[in-house]
Structure 1
Amino acid sequence: MSSLRAHRGVLRFAGQDLFEFLQGMITNDMEKLKQDSNPILYAAILNAHGRQLHDIFLHRHPKDKAVLHADVDKESLSELVSLLKKHKLRAQVDITDVSDELEVWARFGSGQFPEGDEWPIDPRQQKLGYRKIMGENDKPTADAAFLEPGSAPVETEADAYKVWRLQKGIAEGSEIPSGEAIPLEYNMDGLNAISFEKGCYIGQELVARTHYKGVVRKRLMPFEMTPDSAGEVAAGTELTASGEKKAVGKVQAVAERFGVAHVRLAPALAAAEAGGQLQVADSNEGVTPFKPDWWPEQWGKEEQQ
């Protein structure tokens, strides 16, 4: 279990127009938040060219239907607030930074929760665990911590959660290059972040065109490093493959022996299926890419089909 305060901030949305306003801003469908089965909604906010600017988790307030909380990347929080206020116009929505009062927590691991414990499941993938916004008086204690099999309750650090997340090939926040990333190439279509049935939102045209074209040639993919290669790999490092003249992709984030890279799928999947490696540019070291078990079977095979 880990507090994500160091990396995630919290915004408070309130007002009678908040659902309508956010519906036109985010890639997901706000109507889902009105259903009891969806206490958290994950989405992206795009620019007019369909490039991702921010990722955002919208948390339904447990008591007040006219209030939502959002957990967002802390580094870009002020930019996000400025963007939202720019588009707010006359909508009756108040947007307040409440990061000093509330913080984001994640619960993860292979254990089970104590009976009667209620935490919302991470909306991206159930395998990630659970995610919740809490105030000072609600912070979990050791007695309420995530229970690993056969062990006493423990609290892990935020770095351990990052390793857990990257091992599953999932980036968030500043790990997704703002203003450059195409949402489908960062697997947002597989992370329950996009509705292809809702009405218009900013940047929708490119997302819809890419989706209905049916072929995504690049995606974010996880890899594992050897002890020798770990020191050679950092965000921004280029990866190459045997027989490829151009770089296969670029590393976006690393934590301990795992990382994620934005890669061309054909050579990266070929290496993964053969148990091979991608080479670290300007180095003799390599990393081993692998396909997460949550990926749809057709990813990377669209052109064949």
Structure 2
Amino acid sequence: MITDSRGAYSAFLNAQGKVLYDVFIYPTNYNHRWRTQIEFKNFQPIGQPPIKKGPAVDDPGFFIECDIKSAEALHDHIRRYKLSSKFHSRIIPKGEWDIWTLWDDHRLLLPDENEIGCTDTRAPNIGKRIAAYGGKKIGLEVPETVYNVRRILHGVAEGQDEILRGGNIAQESNVDYMGGVDFRKGCYVGQELTIRTHHTGVVRKRVLPVQIYRPEDPVPGKLTYDPELDFAALMPTEGGKNPNIHNLEGKGRAAGKFLRGVGNVGLALCRLEAMTPLEVEGKREDKSVPEFKLDVEGDEIRVKAFVPGWHLLGNATASRRAHVTASEA
């Protein structure tokens, strides 16, 4: 359970331990406007008749932020596990609350009673996450592309286009590194494989930031965004059509799968022993990494994966960052 006013990054898993939805969960009882003016007036869950007696203002309440594409599916998923529990839920209409991410902002996290949020633990110094009511301006607005580039350069995957629903276990999507798993907690859907993978320490694939470049260009030594090179626009990633990454000979199984990108940078699900110098099991004598390619619309482009430095901190640090603690229930 969440034990204080801070929100937390987390995920919903299926029984096989695969990630269904990546989310932020914010407790709302600490927010005056939420408790007294918004959530408890005319409460009518979607697809249900109005509730004559809605939640009381002191009842525990939570705001779950998810990819807008998955809101209805997540709502149905939560209701499926309701059983005999007494709780109400609804999908918040567009425009009622806005989600902001802040960086380079040194003010207090939650100075206003009309906001809820948390420090974003998904990567060091990536910023703060705030939900603000009714179109309130929190700071200077920038295009969403700026946010996506910054997130990609930090190696942070987000939403159904990058954390494919039911496609990968929590570790492969870096949910563990990003503070979304507390390995001290038990009794949750998908726990068995998540804990087993944690204790064996063997994760063969992870989502990593990648840089795309032309065959005639030198291999990049540092992940660098260049807005003039819009390779990502050529990638057919909609509808699960994510292009595979292969070695230059095009032989053997794919070394990775491109997920999403902006310009010349993106995120890809990479086989670690193929695309990075990292050791997965045992010793690795040859730590050189060959070049890899993507075939897009008949043209060949190159791709190189980069391991964020914070990945090397490992699960122990991620677990300590997590804001979720074991329930005594």
TM-score normalised to the size of structure 2? 0.69
2:129 aligned with 1:131: yes
Name the SS of the counterpart of 2:20 in structure 1: strand
Aligned to 1:254: 261
AA at the equivalent of 1:46: L
Name the SS of the counterpart of 1:97 in structure 2: coil
Select the residue among 77, 90, 102 that pairs with 2:97: 102
Name the SS of the counterpart of 1:284 in structure 2: strand
The Cα of 1:232 is off from its aligned counterpart by 4.3
Select the residue among 40, 59, 62 that pairs with 1:68: 62
The Cα of 1:253 is off from its aligned counterpart by 1.2
After superposition, the Cα gap between the structure-2 partners of 1:85 and 1:266, relative to the gap in structure 1 and judged at 3 Å, is same
Name the SS of the counterpart of 2:141 in structure 1: coil
AA at the equivalent of 2:123: Q
Point out where structure 2 has 5 or more consecutive residues left out of the alignment: 36-57, 112-116, 214-228, 279-286, 316-329
2:197 aligned with 1:210: yes
Instruction: Using the TM superposition, name which of 89-98 and 284-293 deviates more.
Output: 284-293
After superposition, the Cα gap between the structure-2 partners of 1:113 and 1:298, relative to the gap in structure 1 and judged at 3 Å, is closer
CA displacement, residues 196-252 of structure 1 (integer Å, 9 cap, x when unaligned): 111211111111111111111111110122337445444311111357622101011
Which has a greater percent of helix?
Answer: 1
After superposition, the Cα gap between the structure-2 partners of 1:298 and 1:268, relative to the gap in structure 1 and judged at 3 Å, is farther
Name the SS of the counterpart of 1:189 in structure 2: coil
After superposition, the Cα gap between the structure-2 partners of 1:231 and 1:60, relative to the gap in structure 1 and judged at 3 Å, is closer
Select the residue among 283, 296, 304 that pairs with 2:312: 296
- Is contact 2:259-2:266 (8 Å) kept? yes
After superposition, the Cα gap between the structure-2 partners of 1:228 and 1:76, relative to the gap in structure 1 and judged at 3 Å, is closer
- Is contact 1:234-1:254 (8 Å) kept? no
The CA distance in 1 between the partners of 2:7 and 2:125, in whole Å, is: 15
Select the residue among 120, 130, 149 that pairs with 1:163: 149
Which runs of structure 2 are paired with 1:47-66 in the superposition (5 Å)? Answer: 47-61=14-28, 62-63=30-31, 66=60
After superposition, the Cα gap between the structure-2 partners of 1:97 and 1:209, relative to the gap in structure 1 and judged at 3 Å, is same
Name the SS of the counterpart of 1:95 in structure 2: coil
AA at the equivalent of 1:238: N
The Cα of 1:170 is off from its aligned counterpart by 1.1
- Is contact 2:109-2:118 (8 Å) kept? no
Which runs of structure 2 are paired with 1:6-17 in the superposition (5 Å)? Answer: none
The Cα of 1:50 is off from its aligned counterpart by 1.2
The Cα of 1:123 is off from its aligned counterpart by 2.8
After superposition, the Cα gap between the structure-2 partners of 1:99 and 1:165, relative to the gap in structure 1 and judged at 3 Å, is farther
